[in-house]
Structure 1
Amino acid sequence: MTSNDVTVVVATRNRRDRLFETLPEHQAPVILVDNASDDGGPDEIATAFPAVEVVRLGENIGAAARNEGVRRAGTPYVAFADDDSYWSPGSLERAAALMDAHPRLGLLSARVLIGPEGRLDPVSAAMAAAPIGTPGGAPGPAILGFLSCAVVVRREAFLAVGGFEPRLFVYGEEALLAMDMAAAGWQLCYAPELVVRHFPLPAGRNRGARRRIEARNRMLTALLRRPAGVAARTIATAAGQSPAALVDVARHLPWALRHRRPLPPEVETDLEKLSAACYAGIERSRRRPAARAG
């Protein structure tokens, strides 16, 4: 345990074996929030790691399990990790120092290295090249999205905006939180000197189900925060990728309209810049000559 200002919150479900690999790597107090696992993991973890606070939930609430961990944390800053990831030595201490030095900093995103070979996550590369600049007094490039397993948040900022929205469950839940923190005036930055190691298992989950949930969450997030035109385009695109997701959105539409809260103009402008850069990158990729075989 090397950081007294940061608590690591890990949300998990039925990943006992992975936790036995990653929990020993954490260098700060850990709160493990279990999403109603039925593999016996919570009891085994509590026995094997008595310093870890294990919180057992009665149902699987997805990403919102992290909210419970943040509420229980007694430190000013909270780092998120997945059951297959951990923060590299020194990163949490450095994150706390940056938070101390920048009082309007609400979220710091680390550089993510994947697998034993330490491949750079493409999301980290995109953050480093984000076209919205570095705000005055900020420690790094501004961002408006993140990977949940690789951020440190200021506890008061996270709780003030409500944390992760339970209705989004998982897959793409980060976007709404990023928008709400930025709209509340908090800075969100990428700090590549912070490093997270991520060891995801080979894909084996239901990709169709994931695609449907991701499409639903993109549509709901747009309905909740983006201008009508942007929301309409987002719905058209996401529905093309997963028509079944429209059924899910229709079920939540009254709730989304009741909770609609458009973003401040400056945040919306930055999102448009990011969208334009993403589109330009896709177009460059399409124009790139195909490699010859042989």
Structure 2
Amino acid sequence: MTHERCAELLRTLEHMTRIPDAPPIIVVDNGSHDGTAARVRAEFPGVRLLRHDHNLGAAARNWAVEHVTTPYVAFCDDDTTWQPGSLDRAADVLDEHPSVGAVMGRCLVEPGLREDPLVPELRASPVPAPHWLPGPALMSVMAALTAFRVDAFRAAGGFSARLWLGGEEELLALDLVASGWWLCWREDVVVHHRPSTARNARLRRQLGIRNTLLTAWLRRPVRDALRRSAAVLASAPKDRCTAGAVLRTCRLAPWVVREREVVPDEVERRLRLLEEPQRNSPARRYVG
């Protein structure tokens, strides 16, 4: 999916249309006004283009999945590129392990191809896993690095339109795990990320805090949601951006009450195992 980042999208499509995995590609243009749709139609006629008149946020991925005819779908932002062979390797994992609902890859950040700060945390995941799981077990994913089983994605309802964007993956991931699916990380599934400079960092930080708080209250027991909320806010700067995130969260309290569905005890036990790594993680600082 893309929004107002035509040049970055074209660079990504140039790469994705040439990898040997040869995936069918769907682009969702989230209400861009920079000529994105015209350029895609002219330069990549083999790509299916879905164009919306406004920015759907992460729910744009749901719209794309409505048009998917393959058993698996891998998401890709306009500033990420799946590396040759990685889509096939992710599909092989899903083929061979029918209880795996999603496979997340290893993120290397361009231009230096250093590992994303989150990678060591994923590699050392403390979540208990069955012996057959072909990688560390996860409780959340990053969408643009992940291949999903389409039936599982659809049954879980996809990404929440209410969360819009920024940490929107955790709610979907918890719903998948609560439904019995396993999520895993793979070292040999590689995705490059060239972070876009065309983004509102403060808005993304605010949405990230809000959505983390909302997810905790939507799915965790009260005591655990309180503890998670306190940890998130303790790690965030004490500024107007953070205050705005808290205010946005509070405004959605009636929706949270209506939609709240606490995860099973076993899922909550796994979440608790992640709390210490999350507190000490250099990748989880709301300081953008």
State the TM-score, normalized to the length of structure 1: 0.88
The one-letter amino acid of 1:139's match is P
Which of 128, 132, 139 is the equivalent residue of 2:123?
128
Q: Indicate whether 1:229 and 2:219 are aligned.
A: no
The answer for the alignment partner of 1:141 in structure 2 is 136
Contact preservation (8 Å) 1:135, 1:141: no
Taking the aligned partners of 1:96 and 1:206, their CA distance within structure 2 comes to 34
The separation in 2 between residues aligned to 1:248 and 1:222, in whole angstroms, is 15
Q: Quote the offset at 1:239 in angstroms.
A: 5.0
What is the total number of aligned residue pairs between the two structures? 271
| RMSD after superposition | 1.6
> 2:152, 2:140 → 1: CA distance?
16
Instruction: Summarize the alignment of residues 17-56 of structure 1 with structure 2, pairs less than 5 Å apart.
Output: 17-26=7-16, 27-56=22-51
What SS does the aligned partner of 2:162 have? helix
The residue number in structure 2 matching 1:247 is 247
The structural deviation recorded for 1:209 is 2.1
Q: How far apart, CA to CA, are the structure 2 residues paired with 1:201 and 1:273?
A: 33
Distance of 1:115 and 1:267 partners within structure 2 = 35
AA of the residue aligned to 2:34: D
Which residues in structure 2 correspond to 1:78-117 (within 5 Å)?
Answer: 78-117=73-112
C-alpha distance in 2 between matches for 1:32 and 1:276: 38
Instruction: For 2:75, give the aligned amino acid.
Output: F
Residue pair 1:140, 1:189 contacting (<8 A) in 2 also = yes
Output the CA distance in 1 between the equivalents of 2:185 and 2:265: 22
* 1:148 shift after superposition: 1.3
Q: Which consecutive aligned stretches of 4+ in structure 1 deviate over 4 angstroms post-superposition? A: 237-240
Question: Residues 170-215 of structure 1: CA distance to partner in whole angstroms, max 9, x if unpaired?
Answer: 111011111111001001000111111111134x643332222111
Give the 5 Å matches for 1:183-198: 183-198=178-193
Q: Equivalent residue for 2:268? A: 268
Give aligned-pair identity as a percent: 41
List per-residue Cα deviations over 1:57-110 (Å, max 9, x = no partner): 122110110011111111000001110111111111111111111011100000
Name the counterpart of 1:200: 195
C-alpha displacement of 1:124 = 1.7
| 5+ long unaligned stretches in structure 2 | 17-21, 237-241, 283-288
- Structure 1 counterpart SS, 2:210: helix
Structure 1 letter corresponding to 2:6? R
Alignment check: 8 A CA contact 1:113 1:121 kept: yes
Question: Are the counterparts in 1 of residues 122 and 138 from structure 2 also a CA contact under 8 Å?
Answer: yes
Q: Greater shift after overlay, 182-191 or 122-131?
A: 122-131
The answer to whether residue 203 in structure 2 is matched with residue 209 in structure 1 is: yes
Aligned partners of 1:279 and 1:19: how far apart in 2? 34
- 1:259 maps to 259
Structure-2-length-normalised TM-score = 0.90
Contact kept in structure 2, 1:216 and 1:238, CA below 8 Å: no
